[in-house]
Amino acid sequence: MKRIGLIIVQASKASAAFVANAVKETRDIEIAGTAPDFRSGLDAIRLYAPDIVLVQAGPRIEEFCDAVTREYPETGIIILVVGNDPDSARYVVAALACGAIDYLAVSDKSDSTHNLLLSKIRCYSIKRYSHRARRNEVEKNHEYRFVATAPASGGEYPPATVPKFDAVLIGVSTGGPVALMDLLPGIPATFPVPLIIVLHMPKEFTGPMAAALDRKSSLHIKEAEDNEEPVRGKAYLAPGGFHCMLHGETRGKIRMRIADGPLENGCKPAADVLFRSAAPLLGNRALAVVLTGMGSDGTKGAKTVKRHGGFLVAQDEKTSIVWGMPGSIVRAGLADEVLPLDRIAARLCELIGI
């Protein structure tokens, strides 16, 4: 069995020790080498051809990530956050915008954090080639298909229709920043309904992430605020560490509620919470989208959306970094359409009617 090869770039003693302890008892992962800085990191990639580069967050990380994704599109990049540098969130978001697939805070050296790193490494390495490489392959084939999935047996969910929608609800996790960087720029500023997004991210990261997405999109994208009314032509990113819900007022107004609460599916915010709150308010005017991510967050909420007549779109396996969340939607028979990532923005416009 060929092992998954890692390189650690710009590694401090703390991050190198963390990775070494995480992989020391595995049989499928090995550290091929380390590099003290970004320039020698590129040399190490040329020498070892690793599957994954683990790089410690720091200044100019976006230049390194951009160079790796351009020259070595089959190599995945995971960012390691060490210590309490107030600029860490900015570095991580910049790296994600330039092609890094994920990140992990390594200040907690518990077994659960070790296991989380191993999960991220293994999930990405299953297919052994990156989102960008898969996207290029799809573009070469020029084959796009709408795949309708049947409702679950027993007729529990009503047949899907294509009504006028009042909001787009998006749930996404692992690989989410890259997916959103592709999806949102394809949606015009004239989009006639708001988009509300749950991305599994810590509270320090969602503000900078919203700002980075806003810079790349014609839509106005911001971090959601409590009691804010979502309006057309804007996208709202749920703040990390809180759940984002919709609640109705008199005269038909809908507002976002940002509130604390227990984790759901190990997440806060959770897509299940958003979907569950929106379904009875929007009914068949809810358009929900589930993108790449580990686990099954969004599936329970999607069942509620379907019971109220809403419409579900899931990202396909080929273009997902991890086909956990969208795969769960498809296996449950909830997806009305299963689409490649680079077809979803255009399809949302078609469904909305623009």
Q: Which residues are catalytic?
A: 173, 200, 297
DSSP three-state, residue 91: helix
> What is the spatial distance between Cα 87 and Cα 250, in angstroms, rounded to a whole number?
43
Query: What is the helix (H) or strand (E) element at residue 45, kind and residue range?
Result: helix 38-48
Residue 243 near residue 275, CB atoms below 8 Å: no
Question: Where would I find the beta strands (DSSP E) of 57-154?
Answer: 76-81, 102-105
SS (H, E, C) 332-349: CCCCCEEECHHHHHHHHH
Token pair of 144 as six digits: 């796009």
The closest alpha carbon to 79, from 120, 47, 40, belongs to: 120
The closest alpha carbon to 229, from 289, 167, 313, belongs to: 167
The torsion angles phi and psi of 170, rounded to 5 degrees, stand at -125, 130
Residue 79 near residue 55, CB atoms below 8 Å: yes
Torsion sign over Cα 285, 320, 99, 275? positive
**H-helix segments, 142-224:** 176-183, 203-216
Token pair of 354 as six digits: 């623009």
